[in-house]
Structure 1
Amino acid sequence: MFNIKTKVRNSVNSAVFVLCCVVSVAEAAVPYGLQQWLDSPQRSTENKARDQHRHPGETLGFFGLQPTQKVLEVWPARGWYTEILAPYLKDQGELTIANFRHNDGSLEDERKIFWAKLSARLDADIRKNPQHFGAVKDLEFDPPAMMQLGPVNYYDKVLSFRNSHIWNEAGYLLDVYRAFFDVLKPGGTLGLVEHRSSRLSEISSRAGEGYLDEYYVISVAQQAGFVLVERSEINANPLDTKDYPKGVYALPPTLAMGEKNKARYLAIGESDRMTLRFIKPLPTVQ
């Protein structure tokens, strides 16, 4: 059971009102010119197989991606989205990835050590394939110690895919969203995709490890200064019952339960996900 804290209750009530007024769309158009990179031989067969769950073309279309934009992708992990975003932006736009903290030998947390290996692997892949990726910028992002994501009012888009639950578990979700707000241009877009918990009431939800309540995510983003523009059911999965022993990690691609009930989890597919588009408001003219 997850109960939204009192300090965000007023924001949640506001979010409820906003959700009633925002149109939820089933799908969005794939940005012009992106399909060639979705079909690129650079993408593995395994990665392409996940398109049926992650809907990258429609998701990026929903976020309003354009080839001339400056885009920040936060915690790209193995680079599933990076290998789509980078070639699309390389000629006219700019992609920056906010990677996990690099391991200089001082990391002791096993999870962070693993994440650092993922970052190093992605960096190597980008260097090996400059024709595909282009000149991708790279920085380290490790809340709360490393929170600098670039110049103020710099990016047209900040994109985060399935990361918010990690920051929330560590207690830094609001701080992270505020960091996003600072580096976005006024009028710029924050695009979030996150595992979605089951709704019980206006102030509570329930799900296993790795899921977040949609109203709660919206309320935290609003506290950081963002305005919700639209939400989408592009990445919804009604088969996800959200009651597994290892939470969302029981589902593909992680399959944390190993061979136990593997066929069941594969049949469910990847998690039910919220897809949210926010903007950083333009300054008020006095």
Structure 2
Amino acid sequence: MKHRIKLTLLVPLAAAIAAITLTQSAMADDAATAAALQAAIAGPQRSDLNKARDKYRHPFETLTFFGIKPDMTVVEISPGTGWYTEILAPFLRDHGKLYEAVGGGRGAKSFEDKLKADPAVYGKVIVTTLQPPAQTEIAPAGSADMVLTFRNVHDWIPRGTTQDYFKAFYRALKPGGILGITDHRADPSQPQDPKAGNGYVRQDYTIQIAEQAGFKLAGTSEINANPKDPRDQPVWNLPPTLRQGDKDRDKYMAIGESDRMTLKFIKPN
């Protein structure tokens, strides 16, 4: 009888110790991830001009919200000049994998030249082509842990290819994989412009597009919100573009960069 009592006591104790050990291990992993991400953000591979925009784009908070880990396979969509690539490439270099899905034209050539110029940082980056509807193989099907797209959805809406993009993301992701989106957020009291002519997209409209492709909303964040943005001007009037030059420059600089939604989706298992 005494042995049974001892055994009854030992089983929950062992389970509790195992749970504590797992929690401590997870906390250590989170701390290591945070340190590696902060090191990549502070690294010398980033230009001073890009670092100056951290106060608007919040790369640490954004990538942490999406749940990025250094051993993930990540696909960045339409990286532009490589603002986020400067962070993702060194962060994923040793233990993960980074695909960069680019379009055509001079922008793609400039981006690839950037990667070739610094093989120590970008030598393991895999460049793929994303030009819907013809070319949508951004990574092997079911291979990616995470797909990230920063301020691009508004560009796809007027082309009528938005669903082609989201289907490509869905195809590349593993079941349970994450889709992270940021974009200029339109005023929800105004109807969605079918051409997104001012560069803003309603948050509910973006969620609808993702859900139509099969994704499930996992969370939203106000990390990149800017309540100063009236959202009644073309987004390109704001910094960093300042399309109108010196006209109303002080006004737009006082606003800062656009109000942005930050959305996290999951591909269902």
Global fold match (TM > 0.5): yes
TM-score after normalising by structure 2:
0.84
User: What is residue 39 of structure 1 aligned with on the other side?
Assistant: 42
Q: Deviations over 1:55-90 (max 9, x none)?
A: 001100001000000000000000000010000000
Query: Quick one: which of 80, 83, 96 aligns to 2:83?
Result: 80
Q: Residue type of the partner of 1:154? A: S
- Are residue 140 (structure 1) and residue 143 (structure 2) matched? no
Call closer, same or farther: CA 1:208–1:272 in 2, change over 3 Å.
farther
Which protein has greater RCO, CA pairs closer than 8 Å, 6+ apart?
1
Return the alpha-carbon distance in structure 1 between the equivalents of residues 129 and 236 of structure 2.
Answer: 25
Return the alpha-carbon distance in structure 2 between the equivalents of residues 180 and 84 of structure 1.
Answer: 21
User: What is residue 192 of structure 1 aligned with on the other side?
Assistant: 181
Q: Secondary structure at the residue paired with 1:217?
A: helix
Query: Quick one: which of 59, 62, 74 aligns to 1:59?
Result: 62
User: What is residue 216 of structure 1 aligned with on the other side?
Assistant: 205
User: What is residue 12 of structure 2 aligned with on the other side?
Assistant: none
Which structure 2 residues correspond to residues 127-276 of structure 1 after superposition, within 5 A? 127-200=116-189, 204-205=191-192, 209-244=198-233, 247-276=234-263
Which structure has the greater CA radius of gyration?
Answer: 2
**Deviation at residue 32 of structure 1 after TM alignment:** 3.6
**Deviation at residue 208 of structure 1 after TM alignment:** 5.9
Could you list the structure 1 runs, at least 4 aligned residues long, displaced by more than 4 angstroms after superposition. 205-208
Q: 8 Å contact 1:67–1:88 — kept in the other structure?
A: yes
Return the alpha-carbon distance in structure 1 between the equivalents of residues 245 and 134 of structure 2.
Answer: 34
**Deviation at residue 41 of structure 1 after TM alignment:** 1.6
TM-score after normalising by structure 1:
0.79
**Deviation at residue 162 of structure 1 after TM alignment:** 0.3
How big is the alpha-carbon RMSD for the aligned residues of Structure 1 and Structure 2? 1.7
Q: Deviations over 1:113-154 (max 9, x none)?
A: xxx222212211211111122310001111223222222111
User: What is residue 21 of structure 1 aligned with on the other side?
Assistant: none
**Deviation at residue 226 of structure 1 after TM alignment:** 0.2
Call closer, same or farther: CA 1:168–1:208 in 2, change over 3 Å.
closer
Q: 8 Å contact 2:99–2:138 — kept in the other structure?
A: no
**Deviation at residue 47 of structure 1 after TM alignment:** 0.5
How many residue pairs match? The answer is: 237
